[in-house]
Amino acid sequence: MIGFLLRKTLYDLWDNLFKIVVLNLGFLACSAIPIFLPGLAVKLTGSAAVEIAVNIIGIFICTIYLAAASLTIKAVSDYGNFSFGDFLGNIKAALPAGIIMGLFVLLVFLIFLYVIPFYFAMESPTGLVLSAIVFWTTIFAILSFQYFFTVIARLGPNLIKALRKCMLISLDNTGLSVFLVINSIIAMLLSILTAFMFPGPVGALLYIDQALRLRLLKYDWLEANPGANRRKIPWDALLIEEREKVGIRTFKNFVFPWKD
């Protein structure tokens, strides 16, 4: 399943290269707000409160943007296409999920910058235990929240249900969840070579969307086979149609498809 997931994502990224780059450029423009504007705000106003406010606003703009991007690129995973008009149309629908993710990002920053160091600085067994509990709880939350936008896009906009589904998916697919986080980190490191234009954050979102889409085939199969062994999913059978749709590309028709 992982091999097919990598191949399909690579093909879809390549087939939508221009659109992925443009969406990433839009995100880079949004990320300039929390990166560069707070320092400028301090110079102009001399107020730390204004600096914090600009940072928070910038983070929410970024997360709302990514939520809209996730709703948009779902079409690519489903063998479809999207336009930039689709992205603009998804911004309103993305607001609730983007705000929730923004709050989560702020909470994670606060935990790692203040809460964990505070407990660790207690220099006592109690402080050490509390810091460990907070740390691993936050790690689990990160593993779960990586699915949040995709769950919203694929399983419905109900935020409470989406949060619960994210945790259940993460618990039931721990290996995949860790793999996806590592993959996102690697994708961001590789994106440095292209100034984060490709694959970039939108490419990482597409990979997560592809992963959840394929993982949902597992749950459809389990629902149709209630007595089946959850540890023995017949991926070869489940992916027959998917593999036929994606096919295999040679280097020539991958780079020069018009010469096929």
Rounded distance between C-alpha atoms, residue 140 and residue 108, angstroms = 12
Query: Is the pLDDT score of 252 beyond 80?
Result: no
Token pair 């629902």 is found at 223
| pLDDT tens per residue, range 85-118 | 999 999 999 999 999 999 999 999 999 999 999 9
Q: Which secondary structure element, helix H or strand E, spans residue 147, and what is its range? A: none
As a residue count, the chain comes to: 260
Q: What is the pLDDT of residue 258?
A: 55
Query: Is the pLDDT score of 256 beyond 80?
Result: no
| pLDDT tens per residue, range 110-126 | 999 999 999 989 989 99
Q: What is the pLDDT of residue 227?
A: 86
Structure tokens at 132: 């460990």
Q: Give the pLDDT mean for 192-221.
A: 96
Model pTM score: 0.94
Rounded distance between C-alpha atoms, residue 170 and residue 144, angstroms = 5
Structure tokens at 5: 């997931």
